[in-house]
Amino acid sequence: MENVILVFVAGLITAIATGIGALPFFFIDDFSDRWNVGLWGIASGIMVTVSVFGLIDEGLASASGGFPTMMVSGLLAGVVLVEVGDRVLDRVDIGDDVEHDHDEPAVIDDTETVQTDGGHAHDDHALEAKAVAEGNPKTLLLILGILTIHSFPEGVAVGVSFAELGMDGGLSLLGFSIPILAVFMTIAISIHNIPEGTAIAIPMRAMGLSNWRMVGAAVFSSLPQPIGAVIAYAFVSWAQSFLPFGFGFAAGAMVYLVATEFIPEAIETGSDLPNHGYRELAAGFGVGVLAMLPLVTL
């Protein structure tokens, strides 16, 4: 039980970190697109590095000889989960709480529409902001379900990284022997969540929501992560033979999220910048890789 509580706290830390992304709005009115693109690049670089050199490396190490079939299966399962989840969400109208055709615009208010094809993150954040502003319990419940699909893989990554909790060679903290990978993964997911919190807060700022309400909404968006962390940790602890699958699943989901959500979010944000923000995105990605690579290769 102590181990489960520790994993839940680690997941909760990553969720709280999302609120940090809204804190700058206490002092400034807006972020430049260049800054936002750079943040998305950093988050993407961090997640790809930790996934490849942390999760996949651990998955290969835990595979019992021969071709790591189970880990590869996990990689594919992680990709499938994210893709299926996105396809389901593309057909849900958050604003009106009813299903709609894939290319039908979802109405946010009397003057603004959002095209929902492709499931662009900007669209999702604007709809989330309206749901929080209105405070409709039914819509908020739907939002939480959608956020669970988006946030669950990050929680799984945290939970799986704690698989060797209590074993020799970990970092001694509060009487626990915590795997080094778990420390890096918790930090990496937390850093990744900061620009996510900023992206959620931007439309809320435009709607005039209070600062603390923006922070609360940002944290709310990542609440599924500690739950996912506990479920993943319990699973790999109970079924050690499935550990390679767990590592692969988390890595596949995270890399696919970067490719289909984080990078497109950055490109969309930087569409009005010189060179469409690719320079800022590449620089941020490089910073993220350089920041995490020395740590995960220790």
What does the pLDDT look like over 148-207, one tens digit per residue?
Answer: 666 778 888 898 888 877 666 667 777 778 888 888 889 888 888 888 788 778 777 777
Cα distance between residue 298 and residue 290, in whole Å: 13
- Of 148, 156, 146, 152, the C-alpha closest to 251 is 156
Once rounded to an integer, what is the mean pLDDT over residues 50-57?
A: 85
pTM over 0.85: no
Question: Is the confidence at residue 108, as pLDDT, over 50?
Answer: no
| pLDDT, position 100 | 40
Cα distance between residue 298 and residue 295, in whole Å: 6
Backbone Cα Rg of the chain: 19
Once rounded to an integer, what is the mean pLDDT over residues 218-237?
A: 86
Give me the residue spans of the domains in the chain: 2-296
